[in-house]
Structure 1
């Protein structure tokens, strides 16, 4: 079995013995059923990772000793902020998971005209926490040591007004504009609409904020497929693919 990678929010120092937080301890002790002496890899999002050895393990608590720090970075030189229209079911989780694997820097869930999800304040907070955990789990799997931030959901208009980037792109299939011709950016803002697409008014509003229309081929992509395709193309053109 490959050495499990575990995220923890606490400070990490070589030769320190720490107790894992509840969620990590349950995963290591209860789900993986790991025992004292077995190896782990820990990271806290501040860069690099640590080799560790389990000192004590039970279903409720796990303590580990940090052995060595590895300044290992797998971050793309291209910083991409994804605005993803909120979708039902597990499609939003899929979009966040795959965007994280593909090197996204930030994710903001947005409410749009044709989107059919509206969250009350308490529900939105719980969803944000859940989506952040999806990103964390994706980092554990894909060996990223820095976790992209999943922001609180906001309206499309609010995100457009507050977002800054070298290149701003809005995906929709009613254009023939392609990536060729743009200078290489260091930062990209990427706007993806819901299953029903962005309205003409929303696209016009994005263009007023200097967003450039972009099509990814002649076929209409699902809302959870679009970020996967867009991130792959961006990483190939200007990132680390």
Structure 2
């Protein structure tokens, strides 16, 4: 079932207008008919079953509330910035796999350079990518992309459980560190995090974890972590 986000609070039996872009997608791209039903998530992250009505505008009538507990604990993914095409792929898949927040990281070995004049447009574009991915995957909450930060600023995004993938860690397995608590995890750039950066994260009570014997690309490593988190939480 198709899903859209609206920036307002919805009530049962309420009739509302979809925005111009959503209306075009429903009417012209999907060619939906009057009476067809979709999921809509409102500004409170409540999920509703909505019936489509189409005349001069595309409207929705709220039929009932759908209880969705799929996004219970927050997952903050702190990812070192990588090249544009890989970064966009990372954002899309992170949203599909359940990240509630993506924090672009600038570390010592980050190659990607920030163009401050274009940054606001980039952030808007990044959030558009994650919004579309959340709609496609029927998530009941958005995945927000934050402004890029330096590693020293990561204390703003600490959770109940904080981990960092580290290639030199051999004893602590990722799956053993996953529970139902909110989690922040850090994935460094292709060149990895420096020892000083690892020590700094450890001073903030980050736990170093192993992702296994293989060396993964930066974008692959983050998606691997999200997959393990999802699998482990679904088994609890």
Please, what TM-score do these two structures have when normalized by structure 2? Answer: 0.87
1:96 aligns with 2:94: no
Within the candidate set 120, 128, 133, 1:125 is matched to: 120
Q: How does 1:132-147 map to 2 (within 5 A)?
A: 132-147=127-142
2-structure distance, mates of 1:236, 1:36: 38
Unpaired stretches in structure 1, ≥5 consecutive residues: none
Helix, strand or coil at the partner of 1:69: strand
C-alpha RMSD of the superposition? 2.3
- Partner of 1:211 in structure 2? 206
Shift of 1:184: 4.5
Q: How does 1:65-76 map to 2 (within 5 A)?
A: 65-76=61-72
Shift of the 166–72 alpha-carbon distance from structure 1 to 2, 3 Å rule, reads closer
2-structure distance, mates of 1:184, 1:38: 39
- Partner of 2:215 in structure 1? 220
Shift of the 30–174 alpha-carbon distance from structure 1 to 2, 3 Å rule, reads same
Q: Is the 8 A contact 1:34 1:57 kept in 2?
A: no
Q: Is the 8 A contact 1:86 1:111 kept in 2?
A: yes
Helix, strand or coil at the partner of 1:68: strand
Within the candidate set 20, 28, 31, 2:29 is matched to: 31
- Partner of 2:17 in structure 1? 19
**Equivalences, count:** 234
Q: Is the 8 A contact 1:45 1:146 kept in 2?
A: no
2-structure distance, mates of 1:13, 1:21: 18
Unpaired stretches in structure 2, ≥5 consecutive residues: none
Q: How does 1:136-215 map to 2 (within 5 A)?
A: 136-159=131-154, 161-179=155-173, 184=179, 186-215=181-210
Please, what TM-score do these two structures have when normalized by structure 1? Answer: 0.85
Q: What are the superposed Cα offsets for residues 33-73 of structure 1, whole Å, 9 maximum, x if unpaired? A: 32433322211252332222222256xx4222222222222
More helix by share: 2
